Each structure stands twice: as C-alpha cells, then as structure tokens.
Structure 1
C-alpha cells in the first residue's frame, strides 16, 4: 500500500518533513495546504506535489489522505490537527511543540481519539543513534541508576528545550514526572513564531524513580544544542548527543567513547530521522506498537514545560498533574508579573513570516538556487 500524504504549512520545517517522506518508499506526497499562494506554489514545484489548497478543510475533503503533516507555527497546531482528524485522516505528524498549554494538547488528543486518528509529534530526535544508544545503556545500568541529568539549550523553552526535555524523558524510559520547580526572566518583549517566550529560564524536574533533571534555556553559550545532555548515575557518568555517547565508570578507566554505527552525514533534523518517524507511524497504523513520539507521550513533555512556567508564576513547586490548562507565561505577562524593561516587541523567527514578503524577489532567489530559509532571511534583512 502507498500512503497518501498531505503537508499543512509550506515553510522551512515542512521541507524537513518532505525530506523524510521522500525516503519512505511507500509514502507519496499528493497535496499541500497553505493560505499563501507563493508558498504552496514554490513547495509543490520543489517537491513535485500535484495538488495545492488554501485550507486544511478543503485539502482533507478533496484528497483521500492517509497521513497529514502539520508544519505550521505553534499556535495553529491544535486547529490544524483537529481539522485533519475530523476530516478522517488516519495518521497525523504534528510539529513540536505539540501545543502551547495542556488544554490545547488535550483538545488535539480528544479529537484524534474520537476519530480513531494516530497522532505523532515530531520529536524526531528520539530516532537519532546517540539517543537510542544512551537509552539502551541506561536500561543496562552501565552507569547505575540515573541521579541527575543536566541540559543546556538556546532559543527558548518551547522552541529548542522541548527537544532537550523530551530527550531526557526518552533516554530515561519516559519516566513519570512528580514535580517541577521553575524560574523565568523576561526583560524584553520576546516572541518566537508569534508566541510570547522568555529571555531565559531554568527548571528542576523530579521523576518518579527519584532521578532529577536540571534544564537551562538561554543561560549558557548561544550555540548550546537541544540534543546534548549529561547524566550522573549512581555508578558513573554519561554524555549524550544525537550522534555520540561517552561513558565514565569503574570499567572504562576514564572517559570512553561508545561505538555507534550511523550513516555519514546523519542529521538530527530531517532526512532519516523524519523518515524513521514516518515508518514507525505506518507500522502503528498497521497494528504495531504505539509510536515512540506519540501524542500521549508528547503531552507529558508539554506538561513539564507548562509546569515550569506555572511554578515561576506561583512561586512554588508544582506537582503533576498540572491544573492550569492555559499558557502560564502568557498569564504572567497579563498579570503584570513580567514587566518589560527593554521596550520593543521582536520575534526570533520573524524572518520566516511571509506576510508582506516581496514575492517577485522570493521567486527570483529560489530560481537562483537559494534555499527557502536563506531566501526568507535575506528578504527580511533587506526590509530592515
């Protein structure tokens, strides 16, 4: 069987999804949905997709889709997912973060359950060889039981740190979380894809087995990557990236690299990780095990992030399950708890917004072989 795929949103992240689908022999991209004509036109031309629509509803009504990829900005994830599920799409892969607030995540899960839809969230780093190996080594107790995990990341909690938190959960076998304590700074009016975010934050996460994790966002070097973290165990240490694992225990006589077999040029975003995620969704649709990045598991990652913000809002430890259904950072802003010291709204992903884009210049750059993301960045810089 060939699985018919529709892409919702034709921006940069959609291209990483498309890159994955191209590597899956029994998946075929047949349609896209995007309100911006030039975006869907260029995307269809780039990937040889025959049909384009201005709305999700129209696409799912006219195309007999098996899978839909939701590649929009964060705040549109719930409605696009729900529209696809209500339209009868059996499998959905939604970009991370799943939603802004667990109330929105629950809306998505409820719609998918009602319609019998399998929902996956694109925490595709769960397929990277480093993370997979680290998970296996932790199961083997190569460094004993996990005691403390530390992760440092840039680009905001909901943007990149969602991968860090999800990766820690994955390597620790998706442990249940008991409580979270968080701290937040927001001196500037900072946004990411139209969603208000913090300048910096940190959170202490306590898991049910006694292990803890300390996650810092935008408190370290600007280039800190989402896939890197360190684990202190009862019998040793482990350093984890998407493509490598190092271990220090009684048997290694110092730090020792763990052998990992990965294709040359293996990337954490796009390519084989997205393809592996698609293949696992297809296996799930065909009666296999729950996807390792299912919506149910992704909700737990969203809950931790929202609990971190709620802890800062309430000035106390927050025990899970989290009661606040909304976006606690937004609530703090509305309540005057995070007054802006440096005026002027800015969005760290503003260059990706197609509103007001010089369409002729964009087409020219793309015809010259400039990538979508690079073209958008160049046009944004020229407008300033």
Structure 2
C-alpha cells in the first residue's frame, strides 16, 4: 500500500491535522513547520515527527512531500498554498476559509488545477453522520423540493464560525451553484479574528440553483425555539431540523424529519463524536489511491461557499444584490472599512481568537 508523506504548516490549529494524519493508514507525518520553536518541538515530539522547520520553503524544498496542510491564519492561506503548489505535491489542504478575498481563492484553485494538485478546504463538518443522513433524506425527496435553509450562530464571526455553517448548508442541498447574495454587515467595534478584520454581526440571503435559498446570520443572538447552529430545511412536502441534541456539545447533531410522503423520524445524536481529522485524512488517501472519485472537502465545492461569504461582504459594501460569479476580486470587508463605510464607533481593537479569546482590554 502506498504511504503518503505529509507536512503541516502552522501548528496551532495544525496540531489536529498532525493527529489525523498520524491516526490514518497510508500517511506518515514527515515534517511540520511553525515559527514558534517551542510549539514546533512540542508537537513534533508528541507525534515523533522527524522533519522540524521554522521556514515553509525550507520544508518544501527538503522533504519531498505528497500532502501539505496549510493551517495558518486565513490571511496566509493563499501565500502558503501557492508556495506549496510550486513543488511536486499531490494534495494541499487549506484550512477554511480558503482566503479573505475571491481573487485569492480563485487563484489558489486555478493554480492547483493547472498543476494537477488536489486542493481541499478544511470544512471537516461535512463528515458528521447527521449531515450525511440529512443530505441523503433531502436527495431522496423526504421534504419534497427544498425551499429554504435557515441557520445562525450566536457568536463567532462570519469567516470564523459562519463559513462552516454556510458550507454545510450547501452540503445539505447537494452542493448547488450559488446564484446571488444579498447581505448586510455591522462593524461598530474594532473587531478582529486571528489578526484580520471581523464584523460585529451580519445577515444574508443567498439563492442557489434549483430554487432554494439560504438564510444566515451571526452574532445577532438566539433565534426563536431552535438552538444555536441549528439547520432548519423547509421543502414543499416537509421539513428537516438538524440540531445539536445537547446544547453544550456543539457537534452533537441529531436529525428530525416531518414529511408528507413518509413516516416522520427523530434521530438524536448517538453520543459518538466524529473524528473529523481522521475522516479527512482517510478520505484523502482513498481519493489519492483512486478508490473514490471525489472528496467531500474538494475546493471545487468550497469555492461555492467562498462566493457566498464574499458576496455577503460585497453586497453590504455596495448596497446591492451581488450575482455569482463575483466580479470584485479584492477583499470586500477590508475595502468597506478602508472606504469609510464601516466606521468604528467604539474604539479599542480586540481579537476574538488569538489564539482563542482575549478580553478587549488585553489586545492592542
């Protein structure tokens, strides 16, 4: 059996990628890279990784890697992905979101396509059994024609938490192409997420092929009787709710179905947590081996959620409905801030994830 040599760039979130590769059959973690030498040594010692680097170029030039995970903050995803694509690797996993702009994400995908490299995005939530189950029920007509997917998150920002939820909405619907986005953004505090601009709250409606619409919001607060991060999928012959069975465990999703064409069902979480990183690695090995035709985290799917993310920001910036494909290639949230249309009313910069949450008065 072929064994693929993997390297990981960035070991904060990247520790989980190292663990997933370490647990998977057919992968060896050959090298890791981080600018924090202490963290580098700690992770490399824990997983007995021989190659240890503080410079990504040196790692790529030395190690003859097959797989590269880019798990830096999002602002560095394009740079590190394009760097890795210069070498004869077979697959690159960029953590989510692909980038902070449409132009960068398009360039990442086009470059990997041209080089014959399989590009993935870190939307590991697609491996949760509840979402597999719900996607299958929708595809089988359990709710008739899907009309609306509604989901929200109480706090966490669009590119941080919301990107996962918008991607899972597309996954539930069978990964249709987005058509247009209409959105609104508020940023009255000087809020950041891992060093990049973050809105205070936002909302959007996105239309997709087939007629369904995705309705999303973040940081506005609880929304009715459904729980935080719950997905309500309404069709013309039924409704599905994919919701955490235990509110304190955000990934404890179960499935409820009310259908006009079959028996209703209520399938709570089975208590078994999904090993996301192992699932990601196992499916990648199967894809590289030719055992499957696609990976559910293929960036050709992720570019669709990227379009909705950037379309939301661009719609708020221009006060217009934004059609997909998006023509604006620069970062629309950053552009809106620089243009002065999103003015800070309450000064004092703070970051919601450095590395996780710092108080406002602790971050300059």
Q: TM-score, normalised by structure 2?
A: 0.90
Separation in 1, partners of 2:259, 2:113: 45
1:258 deviation in Å? Answer: 3.2
* Alignment pair present for 1:60 and 2:60: yes
Runs of at least 4 residues of structure 1 off by over 6 A?
380-384
Match of 1:237 in 2: 239
Tell me the equivalent position of 2:93: 93
For 1:247 and 1:44, locate their aligned partners in 2 and report how far apart those are by CA, in whole Å. Answer: 45
CA distance in 2, matches of 1:224, 1:341: 31
TM-score (norm 1): 0.86
Q: For structure 1, which segment, 60-69 or 273-282, has the greater mean C-alpha deviation from structure 2 after superposition?
A: 273-282
1:275 and 2:278 matched: yes
- Structure showing the higher helix proportion among its residues: 1
User: Cα distance 1:285–1:273, how it changes in 2: closer, same or farther (>3 A)?
Assistant: same
SS for the counterpart of 2:23 is coil
Structure 1 residue 175 displacement after superposition = 0.9
2:267 paired residue number: 258
Which structure 2 residues correspond to residues 102-117 of structure 1 after superposition, within 5 A? 102-117=102-117
Give the direction of change, closer, same or farther, for the CA distance of 1:171–1:382 in structure 2 (3 Å limit): closer
Contact 1:158 1:305 in 2 (8 A): yes
Separation in structure 1 between the aligned mates of residue 233 and residue 6 of structure 2, nearest angstrom: 39
1:314 deviates by: 1.1
Once residues 344 and 213 of structure 2 are traced to their aligned partners in structure 1, the CA distance between those partners, rounded to angstroms, is 32
Is the Cα–Cα contact under 8 Å of residues 86 and 111 in structure 1 kept in the other structure?
no
Q: 1:1-384 alignment to 2 at 5 Å?
A: 1-11=2-12, 13-153=13-153, 154-221=155-222, 225-226=228-229, 228-241=230-243, 243-250=253-260, 256-258=265-267, 264-267=271-274, 272-287=275-290, 288-350=292-354, 352=355
Inter-partner Cα distance in structure 2 for 1:161 and 1:383: 23
In structure 2, stretches of 5+ residues that fail to align are 244-250
**1: distance between equivalents of 2:91 and 2:322?**
34
Once the two structures are TM-superposed, the CA of residue 162 in structure 1 deviates from its matched residue by 0.6
In the TM superposition, what is the alpha-carbon distance from 1:22 to its structure 2 partner?
Answer: 2.5
Give CA deviations for 1:189-231 in whole Å, capped at 9, x if unaligned. Answer: 10001110100000001112111111011112399755x3111
The answer to whether the Cα contact below 8 Å between 2:8 and 2:70 also exists between their aligned partners in 1 is yes
Cα displacement (A) at 1:56: 1.3
Instruction: Give the Å deviation of 1:317.
Output: 0.9
**Alignment partners' CA distance in 2, 1:164 and 1:63:** 36
CA contact (8 A) 2:195 2:351 kept: yes
List gaps (5 residues or longer) in structure 1.
Answer: 353-372
